[in-house]
């Protein structure tokens, strides 16, 4: 289907609102969500790794310290820094190892993110998940935000699970199977539905 653009995002929002009154209610209250696009490449993948299982504000602060320390976050600059120095920036031992390994793979040519990006969604997910420290959530966020694929749903994203519970007026958080049945109704725009729910989650809290 090609990458999401701002125009295609609005088209998809309109289609989803026609099909799902609950999503339509979110748009009525808060307007259309941002595209939330990120530049494909090493720096974005590192940032998503840092976002694993922490708040976005915490990950943003950590990434900011890394960028300040290195000047720019590239495979070359990360490969050149010691693990202890990464940890001194507030990066956990495990994530420091993940980032260092990711940098090594790119520098040695074992990992070509441009080449990977040419694959379809399952191929990209499979290649990324073969990297130490990159699981399904990380791969899906990269697909959704960096590659702007329109039909990706990051399973296990707690903000999305909670937003779906509230938007669908469920007493308890849905199981993965129940949520999958709901999200299947949003194909081929699941990545847009995810943006709508994130938009709700952030806007409703504020």
The residue among 109, 108, 130 whose CA lies nearest residue 119 is: 130
**Domains of the chain and CATH, by start:** 6-37+152-205 (1.10.1670.40), 42-146 (1.10.340.30)
Confidence of residue 1 (pLDDT cuts 50, 70, 90): low
Q: What is the pTM of this model?
A: 0.96
Asked if the model's pLDDT at residue 77 lies above 80, the reply is yes
pLDDT tens-digit series, residues 82-136 = 999 999 999 999 999 999 999 999 999 999 999 999 999 999 999 999 999 999 9
Q: Which two tokens stand for residue 150?
A: 């329109």
pLDDT tens-digit series, residues 161-192 = 999 999 999 999 999 999 999 999 999 999 99
As a whole number of angstroms, the distance between CA 98 and CA 96 comes to: 5
Cβ–Cβ < 8 Å for 12, 190: no
User: What are the phi and psi torsion angles at 97 (to 5°)?
Assistant: -65, -45
Confidence of residue 58 (pLDDT cuts 50, 70, 90): very high
User: How many CB atoms are located within 10 Å of the residue 206 CB?
Assistant: 5
């Amino acid at each position: 289907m090609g990458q999401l653009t701002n125009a295609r995002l609005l088209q998809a929002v309109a289609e989803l609102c026609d099909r799902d009154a609950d999503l339509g209610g979110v748009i009525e209250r808060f307007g259309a969500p941002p595209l939330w696009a990120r530049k494909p490449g090493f720096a974005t993948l590192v940032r998503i790794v840092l976002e694993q299982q922490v708040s976005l504000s915490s990950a943003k602060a950590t990434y900011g310290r890394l960028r300040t320390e290195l000047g720019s976050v590239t495979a070359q600059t990360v490969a050149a820094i010691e693990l202890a120095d990464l940890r001194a920036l507030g990066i956990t031992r495990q994530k420091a190892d993940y980032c260092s390994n990711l940098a090594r793979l790119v520098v040695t040519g074992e990992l070509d993110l441009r080449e990977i990006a040419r694959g379809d969604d399952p191929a990209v997910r499979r290649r990324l998940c073969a990297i130490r420290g990159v699981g399904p959530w990380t791969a899906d966020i990269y697909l959704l935000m960096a590659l702007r694929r329109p039909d990706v749903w990051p399973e296990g994203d707690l903000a999305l699970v909670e937003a779906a519970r509230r938007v669908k007026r469920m007493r308890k958080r849905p199981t993965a199977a129940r949520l999958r049945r709901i999200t299947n109704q949003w194909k081929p725009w699941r990545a847009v539905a995810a943006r709508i729910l994130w938009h709700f989650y952030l806007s409703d809290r504020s």
